[in-house]
Amino acid sequence: MKRHADRRKFTDHSNPHEQILFHSVIIRPWQWRAEAPQMRTVTAALNCSMNDSATTDANEDAALRCASTSRPAVQRGIDVTRPSFTAFAFCVAFLSAMLPSANAQFLFLGSESSEEDEIETDRDSFTPSTTVVGEGRFVFESAYSFIDNRDVSETHSYPEIVGRYGISENIELRFGWNYEVGGAGNPISGNVPEEFEEGAGLERESRVLYGAKFFLAEQEGWMPESSVILQGYTPTSGEANDSSVSASYVFGWELANSWVWDSALRYSTGSLDEDDFNVWSPSTVIKIPIGERWKAHAEYFGVYTEGRESESSQYFFSPGIHYLVTPNFEVGTRVGWGLNNQAPNFFSNVGVGLRY
């Protein structure tokens, strides 16, 4: 409202001399031509207006007659619709002086909206994200997994809790806990199981995880964004009593169309009875934004052993979709199918992520 009131005040010129000056200088400067005769006519009109503004009221008629001498320029057929370079340069200079702050604000808002801060969890897919939570931020993740094993009872894994706290911009600490019950271990939640053999009985076990995630580098051209995750696992219930460690290298690119392509190579130690072995888990995922709140992904990952008496190899294809309720709250689900006989038939996973 104040802006409109100021504009009315600026254009309310009751004095006829001010009307002449206002319309000559403000309203129609872009309609002047660069020809010298017309410029002399306009200059004469301005001079008459300014000279007569100092006269008394008795000389108003003479001032108006003098100002009217600018009208024959139009009557003589001079094209007043073609903009002059002088008027155009004046307008550009005026706008350039008035708009720098508005232009800077526009650029700032544009960059801010393009880099909107949103939660990014590690439970979205088997492949972790390349980002960390940030200094002073805390992310809580939880999920439930159902695994349809081929020859034994299905496996249920919950609550798959992981808490992530940022102690700096590049480092986060991690702590979690999970419980599993079923005929075989859970290979699909990102926490590589120690037990791969499908037995006849029903097994129950739980364990804690602890570790840290380190952000290494931002994406620069074809150099990927990357991070490293170091974690340890210690059983809290069940027959297993050996701790294990894992190390994951995660890297990825954000493509020009806003798709994200992340990959990871995870190494873990494993043991079964007196048999100690290595576990390798390569993975790759494509994440595709759908609108402002939805994301879909397609992923391939494998879990296979090295140095075990009875080797195991499991390979999976898994699509999924996730919804951003708020910038700090996410829900999502994913499903998958085993691609070989040693892998489970099918699995599903649903979970949430909450950031404080």
Q: Within the chain, what is the greatest distance between any pair of CA atoms?
A: 118
> Please, is 11 exposed, middle or buried when counting C-beta atoms within 10 Å of its C-beta (0-12, 13-18, 19+)?
exposed
Q: Is the pLDDT of residue 191 over 70?
A: no
In terms of DSSP H, where are the helices of the chain? 2-11, 16-22, 36-52, 60-67, 72-75, 85-98, 100-114
Bond into 159 cis (ω within 30): yes
pTM, full prediction = 0.66
Q: What is the pLDDT of residue 343?
A: 94
Which range is least confidently modeled, 27-36, 139-148, 155-164, 195-204?
27-36
> What is residue 187's predicted lDDT score, i.e. its pLDDT?
83
- Residue range 76-83: average pLDDT? 40
Q: Please tell me the predicted confidence (pLDDT) of residue 199.
A: 52
Dihedral angle sign, alpha carbons of residues 62, 65, 66, 67: positive
Residues recorded for the chain: 356
| % of the chain exceeding 70 in pLDDT | 64
What is the reported pLDDT for 356? 95
pLDDT reported for residue 190: 56
Please report, as a single letter, which amino acid is at residue 96.
Answer: S
DSSP string, 80-106: TTSPPHHHHHHHHHHHHHHSHHHHHHH
Decide which of 54 and 207 is more confident. 207
Statement: residue 342 has pLDDT above 50 = yes
Checking phi first, is residue 9 left (phi over 0); if not, alpha (psi -120 to 50) or beta? Answer: alpha
Residues 100-132: pLDDT tens digits?
433 333 322 333 333 458 999 999 999 999 999
Q: How many C-beta neighbours within 10 Å does residue 74 have?
A: 13
Lowest mean pLDDT among 3-17, 127-141, 257-271: 3-17
**What tokens appear for 132 in the block?**
């960390």
Q: What pLDDT score was predicted for residue 229?
A: 98
Q: Are 319 and 298 in contact (CB under 8 A)?
A: yes
Q: Token digits for 11?
A: 């254009």
Position 324, amino acid? L
E-state strands within the chain: 138-148, 155-166, 171-182, 203-217, 225-237, 244-254, 260-272, 275-290, 294-306, 313-326, 329-338, 346-355
Query: What angle (nearest 5°) sits at the alpha carbon of residue 273, between those of residues 268 and 279?
Result: 15
Return the pLDDT at 239: 85
Query: Average pLDDT in the 202-228 region?
Result: 95
Average pLDDT of the residues of the chain: 75
89-93, 214-218, 256-260: the lowest-pLDDT one: 89-93
Strands 294-306 and 346-355: unpaired
What confidence tier does 271 reach under pLDDT thresholds 50, 70, 90?
confident
pLDDT winner (highest mean) among 88-97, 199-208, 224-233? 224-233
Mean pLDDT across the stretch 54-73? 43
Mean pLDDT on 152-173? 96
Cβ-contact 228, 241 below 8 angstroms: no
Q: Is residue 198 pLDDT above 90, yes or no? A: no
The pLDDT value recorded for residue 58 is 44
C-alpha to C-alpha distance for 121 and 128, rounded to whole angstroms: 8
The better pLDDT of the pair 324, 67 is held by 324
Between strands 260-272 and 275-290, the pairing is antiparallel
Here the tokens at position 229 are 């995750």
Is 234 in contact with 246 (CB distance < 8 Å)?
no
Cα(165)–Cα(245) distance, integer angstroms: 20
**Any idea of the CA torsion for 68, 71, 73, 78, to the nearest 10 degrees?**
160
Residue 5: pLDDT band (50, 70, 90) is very low
Q: Is the pLDDT of residue 253 over 80?
A: yes
CA 208, 214, 220 angle in degrees (round to 5)?
145
Residue 162 exposed, middle or buried by CB count within 10 Å (0-12, 13-18, 19+): buried
Compute the radius of gyration of the chain from its Cα atoms. 37
Q: Which amino acid would we find at residue 32?
A: W
Write out pLDDT tens, residues 290-339.
999 999 999 999 999 999 888 889 999 999 999 999 999 999 999 999 99
